[in-house]
Amino acid sequence: MQAGFKKLAVIGVGLIGGSLGLACKQRGLGIQIAGYGRSEERLRLALELGAVDSFQTDFTQGWQDVDLVILATPVGLIIPILRQIAPYLPQGAIVSDVGSTKGEIVAAAEQILPEGVYFVGAHPIAGTEKSGVEAAFPSLFENANCIITPTTRTNISALQRVQNLWRMLGSEVILMDVQEHDFALAAVSHLPHVIAYSLVNTVLELEDKGKPLIPLSGGGFRDFTRIAESDPVMWRDICLSNKDNLCRVIDHFQTQLTKMKTWIQTADGNSLSEEFLKAKTVKTGNQKPAAARPAVFLDRDGTINEENSYLTQVEKLRIIPHAVEAIKKINANGLKAVVLTNQSAIARGYMNEEALTRIHHRLKQILADSGAYLDGIYYCPHHPDQNCDCRKPSAGMLLAAAKDLRIDLKRSFMVGDKISDIRLGHNLGLTSVLVLTGYGKSEQDKLAGEKIQPDYIAEDLNQAVEWILSRVR
């Protein structure tokens, strides 16, 4: 499947830009990906992870063969970068972006770009609270809406080609007026982030005046803290770029909050109930819901890489034979590949999270070199005695991945070399496979005393995946 572009320049190879490169590669679109940015270290990491084929830190170089440019930087940098690169863009090139605001950017682009270079504003409604190319994954845009904002000056051919690219990446394309987009996103995206930041900071201020409050929080507050983990620079720029629309919806929200406060003060239970019921009946995006896909959840040590007691040094990472081929088969058959790994070595002081990040970078690099990709890596850093909700066989990591990556758990699988992996799968109704690599053979000996049994026992990950694919075909 060809996308009709030969060379794509991605400016800003972070979560969105990196996922864009990975998605083009995984879907075989035949596009050469060039990464542009300020940091050679970050761009080299993108190259190692397979998100780009080459990179440039000099924005005046390397444009001769580029026929599509996508700006994936924070919105505050897009207009200055457009001014910087405009003199070097070849005739016929298309420039697009992924910014969460459109008014200022589209107007500026149509003024800055020379004749014969075409701008098409775009905004994929996709992302996570994580940032950086290390958080990128190739299925980010699947089943996500991508809003494209043409104007009367938009070149029709360029518009169609950008639409086709996003459709090839699995997105649902929606055409929308620029101003309509900015008001809608102020309400459903920008305002929720402002509220999340405000709520978390309110609780922090209350903590300063008394006893700790956050340890008492539940899932509701954690949803707000997850949003508040988003990149502060990116969200600063979004708020300032869309300030008029955002201030309008903040005014609406303050009015609503004042009403609620009045009903609480006056003990008006009927009004509160009616308001709560009205909110309860709203479904997010009354359009077609995003289709969830099944996943193969993978233990890491002993399943993908050799068991090494505590793997604390990247130099000791050794991939089990045929594991890369197994992950390629998962990718090729439309399942997501997600790693879930207990890493108590961090709590025990054997390594820090920076060392773990280097190991995961190297793992992704090895896979990418052979055309295999992981949709996510989730780890628990806690000691077993901490009784956290993320350490396997507890479900925290897996449920977080399912939420982040839109995973259909009813059709998913758990593969690992430990009984804790099998218990996790069983507890959530997943089909579970024990592999006999790593600790698998010694764990198999313990199965006689276990009530919970794996659905299948495989010699290695490759055999496990072959069995899984026989179930889903």
Catalytic residue list: 299, 301
Q: What does the alpha-carbon distance between residue 286 and residue 277 come to, in Å, rounded to a whole number?
A: 17
Residues with Cβ < 8 Å from 42, sequence gap 6 or more?
Answer: 13, 132, 133
Residues with Cβ < 8 Å from 358, sequence gap 6 or more?
Answer: 314
Token couple for 468: 């899984």
DSSP string, 30-93: --EEEEE-S-HHHHHHHHHTTS-SEEES-TTSS-TT--EEEE-S-HHHHHHHHHHHGGGPPTT-
Bond into 90 cis (ω within 30): no
Token couple for 228: 């508040």
**H or E stretch at 150:** none
- Give the number of other Cβ atoms within 10 Å of residue 233's Cβ: 12
Please give the C-alpha separations between residue 335 and each of 1, 28, 143, 182, in angstroms, as whole numbers. 19, 16, 14, 34
Residues with Cβ < 8 Å from 198, sequence gap 6 or more?
Answer: none
Supply the DSSP symbol for 301. B
Please give the C-alpha separations between residue 100 and each of 112, 164, 234, 239, 356, in angstroms, as whole numbers. 20, 20, 10, 10, 32
Give per-residue burial for 287-305: e unless 16+ CB within 10 Å, then b: eeebebbbbbbbbbbbbbb
Q: What does the alpha-carbon distance between residue 240 and residue 263 come to, in Å, rounded to a whole number?
A: 33
**H or E stretch at 392:** none
Contact 209, 203 (CB under 8 A): no
SS3 407: strand
**Parallel, antiparallel, or unpaired for β 94-97 and 118-120?**
parallel
